Chain A
Amino acid sequence: MTSQTQPEPPILEIENLSVAYRQGGDWLLAVREATLQIRSGETYGLVGESGSGKTTLVLAIMRYLGENGSVRSGSILLQGRDLLALSKGEMRQVWGKQITMVPQNPQSSLNPSIRIGEQIAETLRFHQEMSAVKARSRAVELLEMVHIADPERVVQNYPHQISGGMQQRVMIAMALSSEPALLVLDEPTTSLDVTTQAVILDLVKELIQGRRTAALYVTHNLGVVAQVCDRVAVLYAGELVEDAATADLYSQPLHPYTRGLLDSVPRLGELKSQVQLRAIQGQIPPLGDRSLGCVFVSRCPLAVEICEQRPPLYEPDPSRRTRCHRWEEIQRGEVNAKQPASEQVRVGIEGGEEPGGSPLVLDLEDLDVHFPINRSLDEILRGGEPQVVRAVDGVSLEIKRGKTLGLVGESGSGKTTIARAITGLEVKTDGRIDLLSMSLPADLSKRDLDTLRHMQMIFQNPEEALNPYFTIGESLRRPFVRLLGMSAGEADRRVEQLLQSVSLPASYASRMPGQLSGGEKQRVAVARAFASNPDLLIADEPVTSLDVSVQASILNLLNNLQVEHQSSLLFISHNLAVVGYLADTIAVIYLGQLMEVAASQDLFEPPYHPYTEALLSAIPLADPAADQKQIRLEGEIPSPTDIPSGCPFHTRCPRFLGDICVEEIPPWRVDETTGKRYYCHIPVDELKAAQERVFSMEKAE
């Protein structure tokens, strides 16, 4: 932290700010007496789950609340000036000049029908009264500042012509064009792939350093905060529960909610056999149904009688604040703020394999899924090879009984297509899909009910996976009746057991999906998938759409049911920390081709495939003290219609050897000591010699 002799006044000072939304005739408090300060040159993280009020707080600061939102009390001072007292017209002099914003979704935040250059230049002309010519050349300079390679071309482009990462660079350039006093970054990397995110985070850090701008960084991602922010405030159900320097917050959280958040996400490299995830019990209370005492009381393991009264803002030391009555006990280590481990995690039987090796449940060999590109009449007449998208190209994988295979890749890598081909939702082009040593027909319509019984799927979005017009009971009864041929009465009894197995009360059978929270819906989806006692379960990003505190409970649940049923699991995700935690074996996929397959504990140790190495280096670690190599990938993921020759990764590979990578398909290399296999021209010994471990963290206790 900077130790200044004469402290400057903060750039942004928020005091006792309460924001409410009107619903019917009532005002429901969404942010309750928030107080925070951001100093010049400081990056201030605001962390919260959905429903925490972080967006409301940001919109209030920006004076951009909707018509049903209003600031009920408190003040917002920007450089000593009361923003709440300004008129709309006066705000126009603040917006884009003193406060600027980088939004979550750059694609929809840029006007699709105006050229990039003009979108930057219009602000310059308006706020800085530049001439059209000057504004235009300044736009080019700004694009250079955010490291866009050919700014002269990009100013001429429309947003759809550049990638998501480039679009976000443009938004950042635009936001910094006026040297604002306050820069608000609202989840600026959430919609980006992890390798792109790493590059953008580097850029944000670089540009904020060396500037006097105060930055407010809003996110739900604890890793990003740890990597970017100087200070962090944690927001829960509209209340700022804790506020501290980043290092302090991560090493010793003084609020049970912060503790709960940190314990609920797996850190990169943690395995389920070593660490237990602790979900925060319950869920964020909805607006209008919040405790007048401590907002966290209903989910807190330390709640006592005094917690029914609202805690004041305690100041353990001048640089941190917490709203917990029991912070001193926590600090002295007298009480444990950890969430109870209600769902004991069981780890599958290790080593106890049947003689002759455990049978393969799923065996993929040389799986290809290619999509033809529609050609115009003209192209067909001209002849030539028809173009195809090689979504999945020569993928071979296997899963043994009771084991979990994690499939990890960025968007467009083909991971979902593999799942769809296995389930028959997509018709494979070539290759073999064996379930329980029986070859599956490519087409879903040619598969029998028995295949469906053996194989079930859990989807990413529980909102869409359950029929909104069926009760939970009806949805759960279906697999019993249809796949197992049970009578209605028997099925009803089983539904009750099933709900119990996912820790939901039996009364939920008569509820409609709309009456359940997102996490509860995903529990139902998990229950439905296990109803037919399947041999293989395919889960495609099952926790991605859920809040961090709920994710852990679903992961634990999935794991426990899997062990109980001895099912095999294909777990697909873009999140390497989650995959690494849950899976026994991990496959890394890039542009439809496997790059590396390794046991989970080995994936995080060298030798790495150069792509895996870059991925591990790109993931923001939820530990400010962690040591992580900086390997950044150049450029963008190539289009699947135009996959590079030779090794598909050669265009971005930091360990590019030369012509051989361009011209020759790499061999599969096997590390004899671990059995790890990877697809690369560099031999095992050379790679081992060249690489160190990408990251190291202090082990969580």
Chain B
Amino acid sequence: MYRYLLRRLGFLLLTVVLTSLIIFSVTQWLPGDVCRIILGREVGEAAIVECRQGLGLDDPLPVQYLRWLGNFLTGDWGQSYSTNSPILPTVMERVGNSLMLAGVTMLISVPLAVGLGVIAGLNENKFVDNLISVLSLSVVGLPEFVTGVVLIQIFSFQFNRWGLPALPANSSIRPGTGFIEALPMLILPALTATLVLLAYIARLTRAGVVEELKRPFVRTAVLKGLPWSTVVVKHVLRNALLPTITVIAISFGWLISGLVVIENVFNYPGLGRLLVFAIDRRDLPMLQAVTMITVLGFALANLTADLLYAVLNPRIRLGS
């Protein structure tokens, strides 16, 4: 198990180094001179040269890469080209926001999706199963901006009109807002993300349950005379949920950095919107920082998934 952990950590390191190389190279090849972007079109050639020297842009690329990576690792992420403010606190604030949204989404989607999947799996090919399949699949087909807008229409505008406690349509929380204070604004974007994940997780869970129910050890458990609830919870779910847990962990990576559309619909200040902003303004250091954090998030989510799987599966944990 210890060796397994070491190996996974090694892979994680390798992933991060490789992506940093790719990010660095890609941003080098982007069209347009960085100093032109910063200083604008009107300045003279001398100012550009000075600017390039200041930023070290004339050094050989390997030197630039190592300097950039070194700075990144030591926490010196530089200044944003567009806002002239330090990048690290900006990104970290967004990371915090994204984590909050991801957390709330998980709290809603995981029990809901797993619950529906288990119910569907235990009633394979019966009415409940078909109903759950049809509903979850019809929702997943809709793009996020549609479901988001529909949710806003219902929970904000209609609820407001009916005099019910409405949820805010705009989720642009201000920096430093506490979790409790932010919670009402998190619910609608979290619901939208839930609808994306729901069918995926539920169907995977269902498949796991259906498959495990057919295993001989389930028959053993039933023929021991154990109560059906014990058979399901202890003997079926324990094995059936293994792949689901892995997928949930990986989904967490997507929730942190992949919610570009949802964040835009709800005006939510997460990493996704920061990424769009950085691209829009050709803010290279910001772009590099956001992508690095994104990749790191994904890699960590994957690592967690692998480790969870190993911990929960004695055949991997103890070798065979």
Contact = CB atoms under 8 A, between A and B. Distances in A.
Interface of A: 62, 64, 91-97, 99-101, 103, 105, 108-114, 122-123, 126-127, 158, 160-161, 171, 174, 376, 378
A97 B226 CA distance: 10
A109 B3 contact: no
B314 interface: yes
Contacts of A127: 225
B158 interface: no
A113 B314 contact: yes
B90 interface: no
B314 A108 contact: no
Contact of A111 (B7, B221, B223, B313): B221
A123 B217 contact: no
A575 to B, nearest CB: 25
Contacts of A64: 219, 222-223
A100 B223 CA distance: 7
A126 B315 contact: no
B36 interface: no
A123 B225 contact: yes
Interface stretch (B112-120, B148-156, B234-242): B234-242
Contact of B216 (A94, A109, A114, A378): A109
Contact of A101 (B7, B223, B315): B223
Nearest to A379: B3
Contacts of B217: 108-112
A552 to B, nearest CB: 31
Which 7 pairs, one residue from A and one from B, show the smallest C-beta to C-beta distance? A96-B225, A95-B225, A96-B224, A158-B314, A108-B216, A109-B216, A111-B217
A19 to B, nearest CB: 18
A95 B219 contact: no
16 contacts: A95-B223, A95-B225, A96-B223, A96-B224, A96-B225, A97-B225, A101-B223, A110-B217, A111-B220, A111-B238, A112-B239, A123-B224, A160-B318, A161-B318, A174-B224, A378-B3
A112 B216 CA distance: 11
Nearest to A118: B234
Contact of B226 (A101, A108, A122): A122
A158 B217 CA distance: 13
A551 to B, nearest CB: 27
B312 interface: yes
Nearest to A59: B219
A602 B216 CA distance: 44
Nearest to B238: A113
B215 interface: yes
A413 to B, nearest CB: 21
Contact of B220 (A99, A109, A158, A161): A109
A641 to B, nearest CB: 13
Contacts of A378: 3
Given A112-B315, A114-B234, A160-B314, A105 B225 contact: no
B7 A92 contact: no
Contacts of A91: 225
Nearest to A174: B224
B13 to A, nearest CB: 14
A103 B220 contact: yes
B320 interface: yes
B178 interface: no
A110 B320 contact: no
B314 A112 contact: yes
Interface string B213-253: 00111011111111100100011001100000000000000
Contacts of B315: 112, 158, 160
Contacts of B222: 64, 95
Contacts of B226: 92, 96, 122-123, 126
A225 to B, nearest CB: 23
Contacts of A105: 216
Interface of B: 3, 7, 215-217, 219-227, 230, 234-235, 238-239, 312-315, 318, 320
A626 to B, nearest CB: 34
Contacts of A376: 3, 7
B42 to A, nearest CB: 56
Contacts of B221: 111
A107 to B, nearest CB: 9
- Scoring B235, B313, B314, B318 by chain A CB atoms within 10 A of each residue's CB, the highest score goes to B314
A123 B231 CA distance: 12
A599 B154 CA distance: 88
Contacts of B313: 113
Nearest to A122: B226
Nearest to B317: A158
Contacts of A62: 223
Which of the listed residues B220, B222, B315 has the most CB atoms from chain A within 10 Å of its own CB? B220
B216 to A, nearest CB: 4
B11 to A, nearest CB: 12
Given A96-B226, A122-B224, 20 more contacts: A64-B219, A92-B226, A95-B223, A95-B225, A96-B223, A100-B223, A100-B224, A101-B220, A108-B215, A108-B217, A113-B238, A113-B239, A114-B234, A114-B238, A122-B226, A126-B230, A158-B315, A160-B314, A161-B318, A161-B320
Nearest to A177: B224
B312 A113 contact: yes
Nearest to A111: B217
A484 B7 CA distance: 54
Contacts of A100: 223-224
Contacts of A122: 224, 226, 230, 234
A94 B219 contact: no
A110 B238 contact: no
A156 to B, nearest CB: 11
Contacts of B223: 62, 64, 95-96, 99-101
A581 B9 CA distance: 58
Contacts of A108: 215-217
Contacts of A95: 222-225
Nearest to A157: B318
A11 B223 CA distance: 19
A91 B320 CA distance: 37
A158 B314 CA distance: 7
Nearest to B313: A113
A97 B258 CA distance: 54
Nearest to B221: A111
Given A94-B225, A123-B225, A127-B225, A110 B314 contact: no
B239 A110 contact: no
Nearest to B218: A111
A97 B235 CA distance: 19
A614 B267 CA distance: 79
A126 B238 contact: no
Contacts of A96: 223-226
A158 B219 contact: no
Contacts of B312: 113
Residue with the highest number of chain B CB atoms closer than 10 Å, among A99, A158, A174:
A158
A111 B224 contact: no
B162 to A, nearest CB: 47
A95 B227 CA distance: 11
Contacts of B235: 111, 114
Which of B217, B312, B320 is most buried by chain A, counting CB atoms within 10 A of its CB? B217
B318 A158 contact: yes
A111 B239 contact: yes
A86 to B, nearest CB: 12
A109 B217 CA distance: 4
A531 B58 CA distance: 76
B222 to A, nearest CB: 7
Of residues A111, A126, A127, which shows the largest number of chain B Cβ atoms within 10 Å of its Cβ? A111
B151 to A, nearest CB: 39
Nearest to A378: B3
A493 to B, nearest CB: 48
A454 B49 CA distance: 80
A587 B232 CA distance: 50
A174 B220 CA distance: 10
Nearest to A98: B225
Nearest to A120: B224
